[in-house]
Amino acid sequence: MADISFLSGAAAAIPDYVVTLVVFAVSLAAMHLFKAIALSGMKNMAKITPGRLDDILIDSLNRISMRFFTLLSAYIALGFMETPAPLTSAFFYSILIFGTYYSVKTLQALVSYGTQKMAEERKRDGDGDVSVIELAGGVIGASLWIIAAFFVLQSLGYDITPALAGLGIGGIAIAFALQNVLSDIFASFSIYFDRPFRVGDFIVIGNDMGTVKRIGIKSTRIQTLQGQELIVSNKELTETRVHNFKTMEKRRVEFTFGVTYGTPTKKLEKMPAGIRKIVSSVDGAEFDRAHFRKFGDSALLFEVVYYVKSPDYSRYVDVHEKINLALKNMLEEEGVELAFPTQTLYVKKEE
């Protein structure tokens, strides 16, 4: 019992500042040791795993400076001695600010990594424009800093309610002032996630048609068949019907032509078979049907339906041209005349 009493008394005789210094030194050494072991393990893992996620974690851990470890060790050590409340609070809030900063930087790096992966995937799919993804990444990054700032201010004891109210009112005012721009921006997000069309698709919007060249934040640029560039707002594209010809496997073509009423019936009977032969002989065309459809005002009308085995508009025009030329040649060989609008006037002569 005498020995135990002696040890207790000796421990009690050690000044608080000595204990504080020992705890500070041990804490600081332990943190550095933990960082070194963690970095070594992460680097070894990064060598055998693909992707940049390990590198992001390594950079985040490397970013933690000596200053932060010193502050944290000092805060832990101050708990072993009587310390003025303002000093303890100063260390606590310093650690809070540093910790929030490191956390936001890590989250930003993860967001950047995610947006980069999405951009690479979109480029692989043939969509070269990644402005929407970059905008989303920027908005998320800015939002993280705003949330972090409000968090720190609230932790410091400030009342952030007026600031939030002001931010809300200001946001509403900005939204009203920029409602058209914001509508196009939100429409660009809708186009990106829904993907009704992509860069390189041939689309028809009302009376306009062309190939999508770029999908931007506010507008989409389309190269028309006439050669000029058509700029359409993203909001308009989400509110109108868009015909996307790139997604179809083959194009259905229906056309009619008329021959004169003087054409013999036997020649009319032979024409569907001749049309079938013509369409089937053209590369890229798939015959569907051909019929003597009806008696027109000035012609005997035939209806022809076939498919072009390609969604490309230029390919369709080439195939249809070959069919038209072959059909004209067949009619000339058979002595059948194409009809054109005519009107016969019968005049009765009175005696």
Per-residue pLDDT of 201-235, as tens digits, reads 888 888 888 888 888 777 888 988 788 889 888 88
**Calpha distance 332→127 (Å, rounded):** 49
Tell me the C-alpha distance between 19 and 11, whole Å. Answer: 10
Q: Which fold has domain 188-244?
A: SH3 type barrels. (2.30.30)
* pLDDT at position 79 over 60: yes
Task: From 73, 60, 67, select the one nearest 27 (Cα to Cα).
Answer: 73
Give the torsion sign (CA, 245, 248, 254, 255): positive
Phi, psi of 162 (to 5 degrees): -60, -40
Q: Which residues contact 102 (CB under 8 A, 6 or more apart)?
A: 60, 63, 64, 68
> Would you call 258 exposed, middle or buried from its count of C-beta atoms within 10 A (0-12, 13-18, 19+)?
buried
Kindly list the distances between the CA atom of residue 316 and the CA atoms of 105, 141, 276, in Å, as whole numbers in the listed order. Answer: 54, 47, 18
pLDDT at 131 over 80: no
Rounded Cα–Cα distance for residues 96 and 93 (Å): 5
Q: Indicate the pTM of the whole model.
A: 0.48
What is the enclosing helix (H) or strand (E) of 327? helix 313-334
| For the chain, percent of residues with pLDDT exceeding 90 | 21
Domain with CATH 2.30.30.60 in the chain: 188-244
CA distance 43 to 46: 5
How many Cβ atoms are within 10 Å of 100's Cβ, its own excluded?
17
pLDDT tens digits, residue range 261-312? Answer: 999 999 999 999 999 999 999 999 999 999 999 998 889 999 999 999 887 7
| Ranges of CATH 3.30.70.100 domains, the chain | 251-334
CA angle, 130 then 132 then 137, to 5°: 95
- The average confidence (pLDDT) of the chain is 80
Please count the CA atoms within 13 angstroms of the CA of 81 that sit on its side-chain side.
18
Q: What's the order of all strands across the beta sheet hosting 208-215?
A: 229-233, 219-224, 208-215, 202-205, 242-244
Q: pLDDT tens for residues 146-191?
A: 888 888 887 777 776 766 566 665 555 555 555 566 677 777 777 7
For domain 251-334, give the CATH number. 3.30.70.100
DSSP state, 340? -
Per DSSP, 233 falls in state E
Q: Pick from 288, 294, 307, 298: which is nearest to 256 by CA? A: 294
More confident residue, 156 or 331: 331
Q: Is 253 helix (H, G, I), strand (E, B) or coil?
A: strand
Q: Please tell me the predicted confidence (pLDDT) of residue 324.
A: 95
